[in-house]
């Protein structure tokens, strides 16, 4: 999380006109806002498209929310600093990275939300995903600079993770191609690490130039392209997952924290209140739309079956005159989920 300005500027003013696509076939708009409330921070949002549930870490606990009604279905306690959630529906389990203290991954039941056990990891356990092709849970630690892995049917009380893979930098988020290659943003090195899980080695480190401080990552497995959200400079980098070649760089908003790819479009959610939509036509990438979202909506999850995007955020106080702090303070109890829906272009 980095320091950002409170004022939300119009991205349309900031972007060169040539980046705006007149051929976009879809229009995205904020279609609903669920005011959830409660205490706690927020981080990566995970969607279960089969049941239309949202899993949202909130610091010391993780909320389970019905995406159709905004109703809280469950509240999983017992974390120190919850960051991300991976789910394995076929096994009926979910996994929460807890970066506080010595670090842990909390295993819970997807039906009852009861905690089944806790795996010891390392401090700052952060980004986490499930790779169904490999049948592995993959998680990273920024402070320790490692990739962790284990099978999801691990004993939740006595199981131990595999020997971690040293990455040579501070990872933020990751993507996996399902065949053994894992791609990880190393935020402090301005590179993407390509990791081979079979040999458990880093095969390459690819610069994200002209971007920098890469955080969000998504993979289009069909075209083998990575979509990397960078903070300094503020860019979406499109990179070949085969050789690390940068195919395109596009301007995005300030404070990106997550990217996603679905049905031919890539998305970057930014703290400044912009959801940037990127598409491709005739081999050229372009910003197709910028959806105005509330300030702070910097992570996202997509439900591909409902064609909805969900972004967690809060209401924030206006800076006091003469205040020097660049990041505004969140209003207590103001947590919300913003829904962005798809509609045919007029």
Give the residues across from 281 on adjacent strands: 284
For residue range 197-223, what is the model confidence (pLDDT) as tens digits?
999 999 999 999 999 999 999 999 999
* Averaged pLDDT, 139-164: 96
End-to-end CA distance of the chain: 37
- Residue 75: enclosing H or E segment and its boundaries? strand 72-76
- Residue 13: enclosing H or E segment and its boundaries? helix 11-14
The predicted structure's pLDDT at residue 9: 36
The predicted structure's pLDDT at residue 342: 84
1 has pLDDT over 60: no
**146 and 164 in contact (C-beta within 8 Å)?**
yes
| Rama region for 220: left / alpha / beta (φ>0; ψ in -120 to 50; rest) | beta
Question: Taking Cα atoms as reference points, which of 110, 108, 105 lies closest to residue 126?
Answer: 105
The predicted structure's pLDDT at residue 35: 97
* Averaged pLDDT, 5-27: 42
Record the pTM: 0.90
Distance CA 318, CA 331 (A): 10
Percent of the chain with pLDDT over 90: 86
Could you give all domains of the chain from N- to C-terminal order, each with its CATH number?
A: 11-318+332-344 (2.130.10.10)
Token pair listed for 53 = 């549930």
Question: Taking Cα atoms as reference points, which of 250, 307, 245, 244 lies closest to residue 274?
Answer: 250
311 has pLDDT over 50: yes
The predicted structure's pLDDT at residue 324: 54
Give the residues across from 260 on adjacent strands: 267
* Averaged pLDDT, 135-142: 97
For residue range 266-295, what is the model confidence (pLDDT) as tens digits?
999 999 999 999 999 888 999 999 999 999
Distance CA 228, CA 108 (A): 30
The predicted structure's pLDDT at residue 326: 67
């Amino acid at each position: 999380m980095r320091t950002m300005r409170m004022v939300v500027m119009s991205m349309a003013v900031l972007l060169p006109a040539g980046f705006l696509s007149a051929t976009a076939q879809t229009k995205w708009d904020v279609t609903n806002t669920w005011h959830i409330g409660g205490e706690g921070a927020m981080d990566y949002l995970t969607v279960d498209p089969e049941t239309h549930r949202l899993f949202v870490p909130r610091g010391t606990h993780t909320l389970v929310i019905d995406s159709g009604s905004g109703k809280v279905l469950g509240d999983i306690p017992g974390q120190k600093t919850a960051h991300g959630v991976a789910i394995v529906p076929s096994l009926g389990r979910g996994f929460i990275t807890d970066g506080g203290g010595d670090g842990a991954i909390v295993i819970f039941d997807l039906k009852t939300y009861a905690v089944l056990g806790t795996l010891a990891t390392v401090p700052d356990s952060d980004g986490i995903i499930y790779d169904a092709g490999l049948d592995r849970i993959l998680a990273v630690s920024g402070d320790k600079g490692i990739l962790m892995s284990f099978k999801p049917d691990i004993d939740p009380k006595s199981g131990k993770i595999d020997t971690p893979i040293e990455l040579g930098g501070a990872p933020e988020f990751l993507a996996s191609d399902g065949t053994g290659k894992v791609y990880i943003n190393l935020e402090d090195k301005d590179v993407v690490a390509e990791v081979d899980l079979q040999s458990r080695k880093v095969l390459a480190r690819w610069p994200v130039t002209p971007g920098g401080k890469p955080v969000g990552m998504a993979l289009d497995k069909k075209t083998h392209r990575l979509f990397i959200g960078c903070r300094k400079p503020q860019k979406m980098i499109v990179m070949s997952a085969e050789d690390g070649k940068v195919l395109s760089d596009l301007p995005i908003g300030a404070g990106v924290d997550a990217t996603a790819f679905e049905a031919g479009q890539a998305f970057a959610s930014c703290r400044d209140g912009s959801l940037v939509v990127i598409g491709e036509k005739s081999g050229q990438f372009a910003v197709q739309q910028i959806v105005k979202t509330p300030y702070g909506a910097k992570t996202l999850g997509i439900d591909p079956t409902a064609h909805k995007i969900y972004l967690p955020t809060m209401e924030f106080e206006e800076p006091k005159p003469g205040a020097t702090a660049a990041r505004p303070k969140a209003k207590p109890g103001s947590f919300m989920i913003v829904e962005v829906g798809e509609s045919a272009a007029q």
